[in-house]
Structure 1
Amino acid sequence: MLELKSRLAQRSMITSTRYPVMIIGGAEDKTNECDILRAFFESAGGEDATIGIVPSASREPSIVGDRYFQIFQKMGARQVQILDIRQRDECDEPRWLDILDVCSGVFVTGGDQLRLRDLIEGTRLIEIIKQKVKGGSLALAGTSAGAAIMGEKMIAGGSSGESPNPALVDLTNGLGIVPELLVDQHFHNRNRMARLLSAIAAHPDKLGIGIDEDTCIAMMGDGTFHVLGKGTVTIVDPGSLLQTNYADTSESDPLSLHNLRVHILNQGDRYDFKNRVIL
């Protein structure tokens, strides 16, 4: 009984804490307990929340946007708006910026991260989102493609099931919301460890974060994060990397990376990504 009370107290502590940024590995629970989505809902203000949904990464933005609309409305948000932006120039239009101005939370859905990045990079929309997150007036969550765009560098695509090699991953610029991180999603579910290792070989100044489905890193705003959800978060830390042959190898040749640090975290674990230490 004491153990059960302790677990319930811990869960209450986690879901009642405001998380300025939540990075979700995709396929989060949308029908049962919805723990990750509820944690975002609470971070955005709970029943006082005004939530904006950005479904622009999806090929079916109306369907995807409406699904999250129904979820957050059912949870009791005061207002839910779908920012169904389909053209880049719309990101600077007052009709969307006025909605964003009153949002306490923005949820970015899955789809194609390259499409999403190209649509909103360098626009007023993303600049206002960054300003509000930095100022503490907005909770931001991204799932799948919405997670991939969070770092300064982004995995745009690639393959799995091979040894690490440069051709295994397609890399480009992300939106730099959390510049230190290089995020991969659907991680163990799609066997993407070699892909993340290949990405880190190309950008050893970044911290590799592989997030499983229905799993999330929930940032505290102080350089640390909690892990929420049913899967794991894999951290690839190249801070003590001694050598890699990335610069000298051809596209399809295998990579060597010496002296990486790897951590596997799950529900309730905490990590300081500024100082790269387990808490």
Structure 2
Amino acid sequence: MKQYQRSSILVIGGAEDKVHGKEILQSFWHCAGGTSAIIGIIPSASREPTIIGERYFNIFRDMGAKDIRVLDVRDRIHGEDKGYQEYVEECTGIFMTGGDQLRLCGLLADTPLMERIRQRVKLGEVTLAGTSAGAAVMGHHMIAGGSSGESPNRALVDMAMGLGIIPEVIVDQHFHNRNRMARLLSAISSHPERLGIGIDEDTCAVFHHHNEFIEVLGRGTVTIVDAQAMSYTNQGDVSAEAPLALHNLRLHILGHGDRYNIKNHQPIAAVVE
């Protein structure tokens, strides 16, 4: 990513490189201000928040961030913590870790802390990143769980309400690594107005310019399922376990440096230098 923007949202497919080049984590750090970065880490999706919070704390400390704090929300009452809210006002970057997306939403949705984070993200005042479960919660509709390795069917995916940071998308993570294409298609069959985004491990979809563009970072791919022109689905007429028919979908597989214009639904190839 050539230009680092405070208004970027980094949606990471999970298992991002934390040891070698750390391209994705370095990009978040740069977007958040580099050595001037003030970073809040939210490990609430994890059942081991102390361990996972410390891991990312050490990574961003070693990169040279100015200040870092783990916002250890383990109960909804912590989402009203005045100290956490004051720190969020100073933050230039917020990082949501992996774990269980239902746990993350259950602890943070509609809390004063999350509402202020959402406002600051919308105003372009803070960089937000989420990995794995932290990526899944980005949309208004969220894939909460499900299976893989079958034909698309409604029983294959469990849906819930996400945090609505990027309401127009439905995100699935660990995508090709866990064979989740059918799961994303099953989700999109019920919500064809949303853009399906499947993100591989150690791969990131960076949302730029008030979510007008996606840019791909990392060593995997980002899969775009666009059902805007879908002409037919049987999803309302068959049982939950029956295979789904989905006609006239558009599918894009984006690699490192590729972009996608969300407004006009067009992929843009990476510039070869």
TM-score tier, shorter chain, comes to: over 0.9
Q: Write the deviation string for residues 22-74 of structure 1: whole angstroms up to 9, x where unpaired.
A: 00000000000000000000000000000000000000000000000000000
SS in 2 for 1:253: coil
Instruction: Give the equivalent residue in structure 2 for 1:108.
Output: 96
Tell me what 1:3 maps to: none
From 230, 246, 253, the equivalent of 2:235 is 246
SS in structure 2 opposite 1:71? helix
* 1:257 equivalenced with 2:254 (yes/no): no
Q: Aligned with 1:248: secondary structure?
A: coil
Query: Is the contact between residue 6 and residue 126 of structure 2 (CA under 8 Å) also seen in structure 1?
Result: no
Is the aligned partner of 1:165 residue 2:153?
yes
- Structure 2 Cα separation of the partners of residues 46 and 19 of structure 1: 14
Contact 1:210 1:233 in 2 (8 A): yes
**2:264 matches 1:275:** yes
Q: Secondary structure at the match of 2:167?
A: coil
For 1:205 and 1:219, the matched residues in 2 are separated by 19
**Number of equivalences:** 267
2-structure distance, mates of 1:235, 1:247:
23
1:133 alignment partner, SS class = helix
Unaligned runs of 5+ in 1: 1-10
Pairwise CA RMSD: 1.0
Which structure has greater helix proportion? 1
**More moved, 157-166 vs 217-226:** 217-226
Choose from 247, 255, 258 the match for 1:266: 255
Q: CA deviation at 1:135?
A: 1.4
In 2, Cα distance between equivalents of 1:209 and 1:174: 14
Give the 4+ runs in structure 1 shifted more than 3 A: 16-19
Question: Scaled by the length of structure 1, what TM-score is found?
Answer: 0.94
Q: Distance in 2 between matches of 1:69 and 1:120?
A: 20
Alignment of 1:179-218 (within 5 A): 179-218=167-206
Q: Which amino acid aligns with 2:24?
A: I
Q: Which segments of 5 or more consecutive residues in structure 2 lack a partner in the other structure? A: 269-273
Q: State how far apart, in whole Å, the 1-side matches of 2:248 and 2:254 are.
A: 20
Distance in 2 between the 1:172 and 1:134 partners?
A: 22
- % same residue: 57
Of 190-199 and 117-126, deviating more is 117-126
Letter in 1 for 2:173: Q
Q: Specify the alignment match of 2:81 in structure 1.
A: 93
1:227 counterpart (216, 229, 235): 216
TM-score, structure 2 as length reference: 0.96
Which position in structure 2 is the counterpart of 1:28? Answer: 16
Q: Secondary structure at the match of 2:205?
A: strand
Aligned residue type for 1:258: H
> How far did residue 221 of structure 1 move?
2.1
SS of corresponding position for 2:236: helix
Is structure 2 residue 138 aligned with structure 1 residue 129? no
- Tell me whether 98-107 or 147-156 shows the greater mean CA deviation: 98-107
